[in-house]
Amino acid sequence: MAGSGTSAATETPRPAARVPTQQRSRERVERMLAAASELIEKGGSDAMKMSEVAERAGVPIGSLYQFFPDKGAIIRTLAERYNALGRECIEKELAPVRTLGELGDAFARLVDVYYAMFLAEPVMRDIWSGTQADKALQEIDLADSRETGTLLAEALGRVRRGADRNRIATKALLIMNLGVATMRLAIAVGREEGAALVEAYKAMALRELAAE
């Protein structure tokens, strides 16, 4: 996506986090990510400073930069971890689906699980904010929506074997992307209002899944 006065073709790629290979290095990286999560939960991703992450993790600042070139690399790593956990949950619930009733039940459970997960992990809201504030990180959301949309499309395709595959794919992508937007909104408001929003989304998505 193009930035201010910069074309997508010339935009500088976001530095990626380095993957540790040794056990000691992996443990150090885990401490860094845990420290970053604590700081993000406390003050938000905007207020997080690399020096504070290093201090809280008990590592030299040089070691932090060795694995995470900048703050965006930390946020990206955390976001991708949470997204991976979500995809595993979706895949597990949808894999056995073979009927429309099973699909509806599985999807309803997934919505409830996702909402509970975000309530239990408030840091996820701030990580989401970090990805949305940085155009170089917004690709994470789109890629995740496409992957989860594919999982839903595969389940829906098994249920409606004669349906148009392109239409199913479009519907599934939209449903999953709107689900992410609903969760963002739900955890940004009060608990009662948030629960009502999640239930409204669930009802709309289930009607769309059941429609021809």
77-81, 144-148, 192-196: least confidently modelled range? 77-81
The verdict on 85 and 63 lying in the same domain is: no
Q: Which of 53, 71, 89 is the last residue of a domain?
A: 71
Which range of 14-18, 111-115, 171-175 scores highest in mean pLDDT? It is 171-175
In a domain, 13, yes or no: no
Number of structural domains in the chain: 2
Distance CA 37, CA 44 (A): 9
In a domain, 11, yes or no: no
On the question of pLDDT at 6 being above 60, the answer is no
Q: What is the pLDDT of residue 54?
A: 95
DSSP-assigned states of every residue in 36-69:
HHHHHHHH-TTT--HHHHHHHHT--HHHHHHH-S
Q: How confident is the model at residue 33 (pLDDT cuts 50, 70, 90)?
A: very high
Question: The pTM is what?
Answer: 0.78
In a domain, 14, yes or no: no
Q: What is the span of the domain harbouring residue 65?
A: 23-71
pLDDT digits (tens, 9 = 90+) for 91-123: 999 999 999 999 999 999 999 998 988 888 767
The verdict on 49 and 111 lying in the same domain is: no
Q: Is the dihedral of CA 197, 202, 205, 208 positive or negative?
A: negative
Long-range contacts of 53-62 (CB under 8 A, 24+ apart): 57/28, 57/31, 57/32, 58/31, 59/28, 59/31, 59/32
On the question of pLDDT at 210 being above 70, the answer is yes
**Mean pLDDT over each residue of the chain, to the nearest integer:** 84
Q: Which helix (H) or strand (E) holds 148?
A: helix 139-159
Q: Which of 71, 99, 130 is the last residue of a domain?
A: 71
Q: What percent of the chain has pLDDT over 70?
A: 84
